[in-house]
Amino acid sequence: MGFSYYSALTQVIIVGFVCFLCPGMFNAVNGLGGGGQLDATAGNNANTALYSTFVVFGVLGGAIVNLCGVRWTIFGSGFTYALYSASYIYLNHKADGSFTIAAGALLGVGAGILWAAQGMIMVSYPREEEKGKYIAIFWTIFNLGGMLGGILPFAINYNSTSGSNSDGVYIAFVVLECLGSVMGLALAPPSKVTRSDGSSVVLVKYTSIGKETVGILKLFINPLMLALLPMCFTSNFFYSYQFDNINGALFNIRTRGFNNMFYWGFQMLGAYLISLLLDSKRFARKIRGFIAFGVVFVVFNAIWGGSLALHNKYPKGLELADRIDFKETHRAAGPIILYLVCGIGDALYQSFAYWIIGALSNDNLQLARYAGFYKGMQSFGAAIAWQLAAKKVSVGHQLIANWVLFGISIPSMLYVVWTIKEHSEDTHVKGDIDSDSYHADKSAEVVQGA
């Protein structure tokens, strides 16, 4: 199939660039440790507020997207990222974190909705045998944002080795995030999107508040969703440890940006490599799932083992170590390599999680709810992790918590992979979630192939 604006691939690329400019820039700010501030307290409390509201609106996000459509929900949600970045300019001048915390809470609302829309597009638009590839394409474009977000503070702060990010860094982020929000309007209505084989993404056109309410409530009695809870909870828990206690605690301000260029770059590598496995035709889908699980298991145990070795190297505490500059290769090499492996591990984990969710269904309405549930429960874990950081829980205890939670997620993750079928039963997709056509005759149906 040649290039088409209405193709599933084009739509995944567009939402990838939206996330490149909005969540990608947020990741860049967060990855600097404490939002790029010398004192991480405001950033940690803002992240707690963010993920607390994200819990609610992540779960509700799928229903909101199903009712209001992908374009306008992404458009509105994108501006909450810009407001959050702008709040750090205020923090630079007033040394008052209240605005940043409030902006974080509002961002949790926007992010929950945006990621539900993104998840629905990424895992329901491609054909079953292409889901790994589409996840990798999205993850690559999205993490280009994190790379750019690392280059900006590295370049702007190059002549500074201490302190917080300058206003110019945050202004650049605000401009890019506003552009990403507007780009959400470029998405096509799902009713017009076709897969690579020419089939339609959408079969039946409408949903309702009542259906969405029932659909959300059913998530909490769905055995597979409940089994995925530990995996969801753990999937962003490690960010506070990696961003604050490795990148933020050990390195000076310009080196944090330097590290983030490669952290997000290695995410692209990880997503690409696991996509080759997840879409491989050499193995049955369940076997691919078990092999991918084995890869994630090995890499994450290596990450936490390496983190333990790093922790033992600084017995007085990572946060008390002299700040490292990237030019001090004898000190910087080991921690930087560990941080880059953390980037690969994150991409492997997230790609695997989305692939599992995509393997459970082809129904775009249901996948919007699944994606929202995943992001909501993920945010529940992240809110707790960031509050542990804000309360100055010791780095050693944070490391233990991360490793134990990963261990707890293993049995249920294996169980869900065991239930995966070679083909999802609901291959006929139910529901046009775009509000532009919502007021048409609700008895109408689209009879194209799914």
What pLDDT, on the 0 to 100 scale, is given for residue 402?
Answer: 96
Is 399 among the domain residues?
yes
With a CB cutoff of 8 Å and minimum separation 6, the contacts of 18 are 74, 78, 114, 118, 180, 181, 183, 184, 187
Is 447 among the domain residues?
no
Distance CA 450, CA 159 (A): 56
Range of the domain at 134: 8-437
Nearest to 120 by CA among 209, 44, 187, 41: 187
Is 201 among the domain residues?
yes
Is 442 among the domain residues?
no
Number of compact structural domains in the chain: 1
Cα-based distances in Å from 77 to 56, 120, 173, 184, 380: 15, 16, 15, 9, 19
Is 2 among the domain residues?
no
With a CB cutoff of 8 Å and minimum separation 6, the contacts of 14 are 183, 186, 187
Q: Name residue 445's beta-bridge partners.
A: 204
pTM, rounded to two decimals: 0.79
Per-residue pLDDT of the chain (450 residues; tens, 9 = 90+): 456 899 999 999 999 999 999 998 888 777 665 555 555 677 778 888 998 899 999 889 888 988 888 899 999 999 999 999 999 888 878 877 788 899 999 999 999 999 989 988 988 899 888 989 999 999 999 988 878 777 876 777 677 655 555 677 788 889 999 999 999 999 998 888 988 888 887 644 456 788 888 888 898 899 999 999 999 999 999 998 998 888 888 888 788 888 988 998 899 999 999 999 998 889 999 999 999 999 999 999 999 999 999 988 876 666 666 788 888 988 889 999 999 999 999 999 999 999 999 888 888 788 888 988 998 899 899 889 988 887 888 888 999 999 999 999 999 999 999 999 887 755 443 333 343 333 333 333 332 222
Q: Which residue has the tokens 């995925």?
A: 228
What pLDDT, on the 0 to 100 scale, is given for residue 31?
Answer: 65
Q: Name residue 251's beta-bridge partners.
A: 324
Distance CA 113, CA 376 (A): 10
Is 219 among the domain residues?
yes
CATH number of residue 413's parent domain: 1.20.1250.20
Is 260 among the domain residues?
yes
Nearest to 10 by CA among 196, 283, 207, 222: 196
How far, rounded to the nearest angstrom, does the alpha carbon of residue 292 sit from its chain's CA centroid? 19
What pLDDT, on the 0 to 100 scale, is given for residue 166?
Answer: 66
Distance CA 382, CA 104 (A): 13
Is 82 among the domain residues?
yes
Can you spell out the DSSP letters for 300-317? Answer: HHHHHHHHHHHHHH-TT-
DSSP state of 428: S
